[in-house]
Amino acid sequence: MAKVGIVIVSHSPKIAEGAADMVRQMVGDSVNLAYTGGDPGGGLGTGVASIRDAIDRAWSEAGVAILVDLGGAETNSEMAVEMLDAERRGRVVVCNAPIVEGAVMAATEASGGSTLEAVRRTAEELSPQ
């Protein structure tokens, strides 16, 4: 059965890569995982096109959960989701969760074969109620 894929979007490429390292080392490699961060000039930033690429890399029939850090990471992720074709759009969610802990928890949930909604719920359990 397909497992939900995870995308990590940070303004900082180092944070995106580091969070992805934590997922791989703690959870293993049974879930699709992609990350993106930084602008082409080497500075901080996020871009809609690179987020779309990350969604493609992490794509799973079970859907994709995106973990973001601040502001533009969230709005650009939402725009990237909007640009997907209708058939995929409904299977990608942006989680309201801390990026590092959320990515590890979401991937743990996904590794057990949980649904996209369950993966999102687990990541969002970390947010202040």
Partner 1 sequence: MKDETAAEQATGRAELINAVGLHARPSVKLTQLAKTFDCRVEIALSADGPWVDAKSPVKVMRVKAPRGAVLHVRASGKGARAAAAALVSLVRDGFGEAMDQPADQSHG
DSSP result, 71-95: THHHHHHHHHHHTS-HHHHTTEEEE
Which residue, 46 or 111, is less far from partner 1 as judged by CB?
111
Which residues, numbered 60-79, are part of the site for partner 1 (CB under 8 A)?
none
**Options 6-14, 23-31, 55-63, 80-88: segment touching partner 1 (CB under 8 A):** 23-31
Q: Which residues contact 87 (CB under 8 A, 6 or more apart)?
A: none
What is the x/- site pattern for partner 1, positions 90-119, by CB under 8 A? --------------xx--xx-xxxx-----
Place of tokens 């992805």: 20
Q: Is 11 a catalytic residue?
A: yes
Using CA atoms, how far apart are residues 42 and 14, in angstroms rounded to an integer? 11
Residues forming the site for partner 1 (CB under 8 A) = 25-28, 104-105, 108-109, 111-114, 122, 125-126
